[in-house]
Amino acid sequence: MAHGPHHGDRRRRRSHRPRATGPARGASSRRRTPILGGGHRLAGWRRVARSSRSPLVTAPRNYLVPTVIEQTSRGERAFDLFSRLLKEHIVFLGTPIDDTIANLTCAQLLHLESENPDKDISLYINSPGGDINALFAIYDTLQYIRPDVTTICFGQAASAAAVLLAAGAPGKRLALPHSRILIHQPYAGAHGQVSDIEIASREIQRLKVQLEEVLARHTGQSLERIQADTDRDYVMTAAEALEYGIIDEVIESRGLTADGDGSPRISAVP
């Protein structure tokens, strides 16, 4: 009886039925992972990172760091550019602020203090902000070390970076004319069980109060105004940041004056 082909056709038809697909194993658990995770982030970096095409705030890239060649009595000596600037007590903060950047920045500040505790340090800031715990690590170090720290904003000082700009030594907080300064409240995208969200909410509220108190202390604004202004993104030009009390001067150029030992020193010219 010729029934083989009939059964074969049925088997072939079954084999071509589409199979139902579902989420990959572990996908649901990944979605439930709390965003809060290892720390609370200020919202500025998240929003800029999602909307901007600037290399500064998109995926990390490898850039060639220029090398500076110096002539010494022993011949030539090569420095990478940032090490050469560090030798002149200049620290750069030009990336989003996370634990790694905070550790590097604090290490440079402590090193410069050990080299010469009486010489000012210049902290140049062009950052979209970042992690609030990393922010407080740098902030506390700025207040802890003996040298005065001059903070200079070029480009932008947003979110956590704006707090560091305001935390410079009194009278030594500067910004270039086209700088952008932004302040706002912390952001915490907490997920998980209700108890987890309640714990995260209490912690972010505590950090929010700390942040507001720091800004009020360094700007001279009332705590009530800081709370009102940081409820949403509050963007300022350099001139507006000067009026607000985040900086002390808007600078356009600089000249050379002499230190007490006769060596040249760069000074800002408003």
Active site residue 40: no
Which domains are assigned to the chain? Answer: 83-269 (3.90.226.10)
Give the pLDDT mean for 182-209. Answer: 88
> Coil, strand, or helix at residue 136?
helix
How many residues are recorded in the chain?
270
Q: Which of 127, 159, 179, 218 is catalytic?
A: 159
How far apart are alpha carbons 189 and 196 in whole angstroms? Answer: 12
How far apart are alpha carbons 205 and 228 in whole angstroms? Answer: 15
Active site residue 263: no
52-79 confidence digits (pLDDT tens): 333 333 344 566 777 777 777 787 777 7
Give the pLDDT mean for 243-258. Answer: 82
φ/ψ of 100, rounded to 5, equals -65, -45
Instruction: Give yes or no for a contact between 164 and 151, defined as CB atoms under 8 angstroms apart.
Output: yes
CB atoms within 10 A of CB 98: 16
Which pTM was predicted?
A: 0.72
Instruction: Give yes or no for a contact between 149 and 31, defined as CB atoms under 8 angstroms apart.
Output: no
Q: Which of 40, 89, 184, 218 is catalytic?
A: 184
Instruction: Give yes or no for a contact between 89 and 121, defined as CB atoms under 8 angstroms apart.
Output: yes
Check whether 118 has a pLDDT greater than 80: yes
Check whether 109 has a pLDDT greater than 90: yes
CB atoms within 10 A of CB 148: 16
